[in-house]
Amino acid sequence: MSTTESVSPRRHAYTDPSASQLPEPSYAERVRTLVSLGTIATLSTISLKRPGYPFGSLMPYAIDESGRPIFLISNMAMHTQNLQADPRASLFVSQAGDGDPLGTARATLVGDVLPVPEEENSAARERYLARYENSRSWVDFKDFGFYRLQPLDIYYVGGFGVMGWVTADDYLIAKIDPLAEAAPRILSHMNTDHVPAMILLARAHSNLEASEATMTAVDRLGFHLRLKTADGMKGTRINFLRAVQNADETRKVLVEMVQTAEPKLS
């Protein structure tokens, strides 16, 4: 972890005094996961018409093996003309969700957007079309081409009070969380069917008494809860007893945690 990402590592609250404390995913891992899940972002280029001013465009994107965003854009588009004059740009990616948008994760990737080198064009095409099959209708038009953002720096906001810079080097080597694809289903299931269990876990692991609980995020090491308490809304993170790799392992460890918590609080 680079010193620009975090001065002191953030860690979970303990789930068991005798258990080792698992670190949270790094900001670099969180951004890499967030960008891998996104499909539409806001690309800001430097305006030709108004020099020095940012010009925002809605932008579909895919990613390459290093997590660099790939765009299929037309020379006739204003953002492409802006990039051809000045490649400096930023891409704003945000987490999808129905809750408070200020409480969701988002990241701004700052860097240079340049044409994909000819020898890498075939791989970029394959990755992009795998995500946007309908793009086959115009991918071979002469005015379209593939561009790629090379990150220079990244700013991450993980919700209220969670924010920090991530270096490009850390981002490019970070791994996508193994629960990335399964997370929405896990959150929906827990928030629909297991609110009492989450209230129990909040009491057992965070010493918080809640009348309502919502799981807002989950990763291989733990999960976040938003809780309605007598003192207002509060958030907490609880780490799993062990790291998980898929939805089935997540279910098993949550059942184990609830079963362990019940007799302690009875």
The total domain count for the chain is: 2
Q: Which residue has the higher pLDDT, 100 or 68?
A: 68
Q: Are residues 64 and 168 in the same domain?
A: yes
Q: What is the pLDDT of residue 103?
A: 65
Q: What is the pLDDT of residue 2?
A: 43
Position 217 scores a pLDDT of 86
* CA 265 to each of CA 25, 105, 260: distance values in angstroms, whole numbers, following the listed order: 30, 33, 9
Q: Could you read off the pLDDT of 3-40 as tens digits, one per residue?
A: 344 433 443 333 344 444 456 899 999 999 999 999 99
pLDDT tens string 188-244 = 999 999 999 999 999 999 999 999 999 988 999 999 899 999 999 998 999 999 999
**Residues 118, 238 share a domain:** no
In this structure, are 32 and 155 located in the same domain?
Answer: yes
Range of the domain at 42: 27-173
Same domain, 109 and 226: no
pLDDT tens, position by position, 92-142: 999 876 666 666 789 999 999 999 999 999 999 999 999 999 999 999 999
- Residue 221's domain is classified under what CATH number? 3.20.180.10
Residue 263 has pLDDT above 90, yes or no: no
**pLDDT value, residue 120:** 97
Residue 49's CATH number: 2.30.110.10
Residues 77 and 35 in one domain: yes
Q: What is the dihedral of CA 151, 154, 158, 161, to 10 degrees?
A: 180
Give the residue from 173, 207, 222 where a domain finishes: 173
Q: Are residues 189 and 152 in the same domain?
A: no
- The whole-angstrom distance between residue 172's C-alpha and the CA centroid of its chain comes to 14
Q: Angle at Cα 158 formed by Cα 156 and Cα 161, nearest 5°?
A: 105
Asked whether residue 216 is domain-assigned, the answer is yes
Q: What average pLDDT does this structure show over 164-169? A: 97
pTM reported for the whole predicted model: 0.81
In a shared domain, residues 153 and 255: no
> Tell me, what's the pLDDT at 216?
85
Contact at 8 Å (CB) between 110 and 167?
A: no
Q: Kindly state the average pLDDT of the residues 133-152.
A: 96
Q: Specify the pairing of strand 88-94 against strand 106-115.
A: antiparallel
